[in-house]
Structure formats: C-alpha cells, structure tokens
Amino acid sequence: MGKITIAIDGYSSTGKSTLAKRLASALNYVYVDTGAMYRAVTLFALNNKYVGTNEDIPSLIKQLPNINLKFVPNKTLGLSEMYLNDENVERQIRTMEVSDHVSKVATIEEVRHMLVAMQQQMGEEKGIVMDGRDIGTVVFPNAELKIFMTASPETRATRRYKELLERGEEVTFDEVLKNVQKRDRIDSTREMSPLKKAEDAIEFDNSDMGLEEQFERIYNYSLRVINKNN
C-alpha cells in the first residue's frame, strides 16, 4: 500500500503530538515533532545567552551550522527523543523557560530555513506524520492529508498546566494561560510562515472530545485518504 504524508498543524497544546504519535504508530509511519526542533534551537540559544536577559540574534544565526539536531529512538519508551549536539534534551526543551522564548526564536528567518529543509528531507519518502505550525502550508504543501487542530485557550492551558505539574514544575494556571495566549499571538502574526489553516486542511476542534474519540475519527479518515490515493 502506497504511503502518504500527513500534516498536522494547530495552536499550542491542542493535543497535536498525542494524536500524531498514536496515528503514526497505528499506520506504521514515522512521527516528527517539529516543535521539538524549534525548542532545541531555543535551548541552545538560552544556554549560550543569545536570548533571555541578553539578546544577540546575529550570533545565534552565525552558530546555526554548529547545531546538530537528531531524533533518537528510545526503545524502552517506544518513542523518539530530541538530541542537541549528542545530548538528550527531551526534558530540558519542555520547561516554561524554553516555552517563554521559543516563539521568538521561531520568528527568525534563518532558523526556519534550516529547520524546514531538515523536515522536508525527513519526509522525502512519505509515510510520515509531522506536526507543527506550517507543515501543511510551507513544509509539505502537497501533503495528501492536512489537519488543523483547534481548542479554546482555557482548554489548552488546563491540559498544559496538568502536564507541567506532573513534571514537577512550579507554575500557576494563570502563567500557563498567559503563555498559551502570548504564543498564539506571536505564532499567528509573525511575518514568515504564520500559523494559519491551509485552504485544503480539515479543521478539527477537540475542546469537548476525549483522546479515544479524536484518534478513532482521524484514524478512520486517514485510512479513507490512503485508500483513495492507492
């Protein structure tokens, strides 16, 4: 059966990665979390003081060729983890500090060019589920299936707040809600590749939907699209 490309875009904390991971595993496709790539570049920028209290974007741009990003499968967990210059940074890229600076780093043209080129290479052979903000519009405009996920900011902040508490981060619900709203604003108004629904994407609002129902619906829909393309 010929494989297709599945692009999943949408606002932060809409559950894109949970759905994309499960879908990829059910279809035996590769899953790529492009947000993790922007987060890893942000971690590099924070560690080297190119963003944060100090700001030196030109130096960050100069250092881009020295950033080596890799997804390495973790057999025990059954998923891939992000490595930055051969160090496993999967936990470090999910902190509030990285979340607070990632949208800014994602507006840098040179960063986007580098990461989009890597993403297109990863998807060359199809059989991929990629989630992000610009996958259906910029990375794979010809993807056979495009899904645009939405949910209310409060629903998304509640999900993210729970996740952060479970990981032992000390945050308030209000801080998380503000971060979600700030990222929505920056992600959808930036000049280059702003977050927007591709014309041929299906919009999927999961505010009132459990994980099982979301998966069933999208999985069945994917099978129909795969059959149509064979």
Name the residues that contact ligand DC, by CB under 6 A. 12, 34-35, 38-39, 102-103, 106, 132-134, 183, 187
Of 12 and 206, CB closest to ligand DC: 12
* Least distance in angstroms from the C-beta of 11 to ligand DC: 9
Smallest gap from Cβ 12 to ligand DC, in A, equals 4
Q: End-to-end alpha-carbon separation of the chain, Å?
A: 7
Unique residue bearing structure tokens 């589920």: 129
Nearer to ligand DC, 154 or 216 (CB): 154
Nearest approach in angstroms of CB 170 to ligand DC is: 20
Spatial CA neighbour of 37 closest among 142, 120, 111:
111
Query: CB of residue 122 vs ligand DC: minimum separation in angstroms?
Result: 12
Compare residues 4 and 41 and give the one whose CB is closer to ligand DC: 41
Closer residue to ligand DC in complex, CB, 12/222: 12
Q: How far, in whole angstroms, is CA 205 from its chain's centroid?
A: 17
Distance CA 176, CA 157 (A): 6
- Enter the DSSP assignment of 139: I
Distance CA(219)–CA(224), nearest Å, equals 9
Joined together, the tokens standing for residue 198 give: 């591709």
